[in-house]
Amino acid sequence: IIFNCSYCFKVLFYFKCCKILTKKLLNCSEIYCKGPLLNAAQNAFVFNDSKSFVDMKLKQDPDAVLAAFADLNQIHSGQIPVEAVKQFVAKYFDQPGSEFEDWVPLDWTQSPQFLSHISDPQLRTWASDLNVLWKQLGRKMIGDVFVNSSRYSVIPVKNPVIVPGGRFREFYYWDSYFVIRGLLLSEMYTTVKGMIENFLQIIEEFDFIPNGGRIYYTRRSQPPYLIAMVKEYVEATGDKEFLNLALPTLEKEYYFWMNHRNIEINGHMLNYYASDVNTPRPESYREDIYFKQHIFITEDANSLLSHVTSACESGWDFSTRWAGTKYSSEIEVVPQLLTRTIIPVDLNSIMAFNERTLAEFYRIIGNNTQATTFYEIYEKRAQTIESIMWNQDDNSYYDYVATENSQNKVYFASNMNPLWTKCFPSTVNVTEREEHIAIIIIYIQTNGVLEYPGGIPTSLRPSGEQWDFPNAWPPLVLLIIEGLATSNSSLLQNAALQQASKWVNGNYKAYLKSGFMFEKYDVTQADGVAGSGGEYDVQVGFGWTNGVVMSLLDRYGDTLKFDSSTTPSVEITSSEMTTSSCNVIRPITSQAALLYFSFISLLFCIL
């Protein structure tokens, strides 16, 4: 028998980390996840951002800190003054971020090949700057995290990571897919493999990947992009041995979603976001307490927090999307959330992509039985998406509201996710698929979605939440552009190029003005303005923004040019918009009408 010592070491390390994680869950929950100390510290406003406190390191073991707090509470008869709480935190906690040290990836290279494909010298220099940013966003856990793990809220993983940036000090699940897209273009294959190995380790402990790399995120996940990460890595490296080792764990995560985030609709099995947590989020504690105490009556409060946490699991925290058909612009969005009643079209499109990709993976390693099984599962879901989520009259996919047995017929960028996954059933031939794509673009064009100077809006509702108008988010923009670009229609490919040019130029202008890459942007501004809204200030860094721009420069680098001119921005006034009962904003342009008739002509040619 020949033993693979390297693999044995990894297995032993995984078991060690699993023991650490189990211990952390038992010992840390009363400080970082719930309990009187968490409540006192957050309500004392030790930090303006609730997340900062739960990212602090304990100076002593949890039991000692909890005992000291119990003594303090007894001294003050349960009414601890704010200043005493702040002094207690200063005595027993270190500053946030002390679990990491800066780390320069060993596989970083100054001149990755993709840079040579960018013809515009200014854009090429900018792409080189973005490549350098990976060194600034690299983090490695200090040794003490593994020795005294119960003193930290961070989930210990053996390999260094690339973080988003700003307040997001740790790794995040779906962010990592778009980060990895950029890292692979930077030829940082070892870093990517290490990040994926971290996720595989975490699945072996939790059966799923948490929202992010903190213990307080372990009651919810995020959009399941790990299979897509592995696909990108294997296609870039040809590492079939790694694929073979990873497959059982990938399947384990898949079945988490099928067993714990599944719902039956009219005899069809679909997935939805459904965290069962009904307590305040530790990282947004005060915000949740506010909504629980001041907005909802007592019997509804716990249900609301479950919808809130489920919305966080979607990655879209927050959006009018999760209020479903009941949304009203007259009150705040969060109290209206009904996330657990909504069957998201993008989640199910991603799950179909995962099923088809698992079939491909098993075919690659020679397991045709499993390949056939997963392809049949994929085919069934693809048919279900078409039958339940496709609207023939509106020419669009929509989320499905389970409690009403109806679609939520409102524009969200997620409606177009099937363009990217290309998860059509085999009963739809190539010509019909192209027709499908073309009429979807008619839908978004007639809604004015492609006409904004700063990108593609997440929604058309100016709710004040960050996953609504006027914000555009890099991952959504990339998936829509790639969905258009992979069509066989030159008209749609040109639309993709135009959106890519608009996005790249806007991001670059923002970078020139500020020196930063932002997590989101304002679509009404042509010259690169950071987005707004939500529970925290706009963040810089920024992992997925960098990865998206690099992906677009890789695809269009021989074509894109820096446009130094200033394009007029959209001013939202009553004379320049139409507003429906859903409070939808859309610019009225002659180009929209022209492109509408162009798409009608395209459909005529197809038919």
pLDDT digits (tens, 9 = 90+) for 353-367: 999 999 999 999 999
Element (H, E) at 463: none
Report whether pLDDT(8) > 70: no
Q: Average of pLDDT values for 511-528?
A: 95
pLDDT (tens digit, 9 = 90+) per residue, 299-343?
577 789 999 999 999 999 999 999 999 999 998 899 999 999 999
Q: Give the HSE-up count for residue 353: Cα atoms under 13 Å, Cβ half-sphere.
A: 21
Domain extent listing, the chain: 5-94, 282-341
**H-helix segments, 285-367:** 285-294, 298-314, 345-364
Q: Which string of b and e fits 215-238 if b means at least 16 CB within 10 Å? A: bbbbbbbbbbbbbbbbbbbbebee
**H-helix segments, 515-570:** 543-556
Q: Is 519 a catalytic residue?
A: yes
Catalytic residue among 317, 346, 399, 554: 317
Q: Is 317 a catalytic residue?
A: yes
Q: Average of pLDDT values for 258-278?
A: 95
The dihedral over CA atoms of 372, 373, 378, 380, expressed in degrees to the nearest 10, equals 110
pLDDT (tens digit, 9 = 90+) per residue, 388-427?
999 999 999 999 999 999 999 999 999 999 999 999 999 8
Return the pLDDT at 273: 99
| Residue recorded with tokens 């017929």 | 409
Q: Residue 467 contacts by C-beta under 8 Å, 6 or more apart in sequence?
A: 316, 317, 318, 319, 321, 458, 459, 473, 534
Provide the token pair at 1: 């028998």
The residues with which 100 forms a beta bridge, in sequence order, are: 141
Characterize the bridge pairing of strands 400-401 and 406-407: antiparallel
Return the pLDDT at 566: 60
**Cα 203 to the chain's mean position, in Å?**
18
pLDDT (tens digit, 9 = 90+) per residue, 47-92?
999 999 999 999 999 999 999 999 999 999 999 999 999 999 999 9
- CB neighbours (10 Å) of residue 100? 19
The residues with which 472 forms a beta bridge, in sequence order, are: 521
| Residue recorded with tokens 């990655």 | 315
pLDDT (tens digit, 9 = 90+) per residue, 380-389?
999 999 999 9
pLDDT (tens digit, 9 = 90+) per residue, 201-257?
999 999 999 999 999 999 999 999 999 999 999 999 999 999 999 999 999 999 999
Q: How confident is the model at residue 122 (pLDDT cuts 50, 70, 90)?
A: very high
Return the pLDDT at 377: 98
Return the pLDDT at 538: 62
265 phi/psi in degrees, rounded to 5: -125, 115
Q: State how far the Cα of 341 lies from the Cα of 400, in Å rounded to an integer.
A: 9
Catalytic residue among 519, 527, 535, 554: 519
Q: Which of 336, 350, 435 is nearest to 385 (CA)?
A: 350
Provide the token pair at 564: 């130094």
| Residue recorded with tokens 């509106």 | 394
The residues with which 269 forms a beta bridge, in sequence order, are: 264
188 phi/psi in degrees, rounded to 5: -95, 65
**Peptide bond connecting 318 to the previous residue in cis, omega within 30 degrees of 0:** yes
Q: Residue 149 contacts by C-beta under 8 Å, 6 or more apart in sequence?
A: 20, 23, 24, 156
Q: How confident is the model at residue 165 (pLDDT cuts 50, 70, 90)?
A: confident
Q: By mean pLDDT, which of 15-19, 232-236, 432-436 is the weakest?
A: 15-19
Report whether pLDDT(572) > 50: no
Q: Residue 432 contacts by C-beta under 8 Å, 6 or more apart in sequence?
A: none
Report whether pLDDT(147) > 60: yes
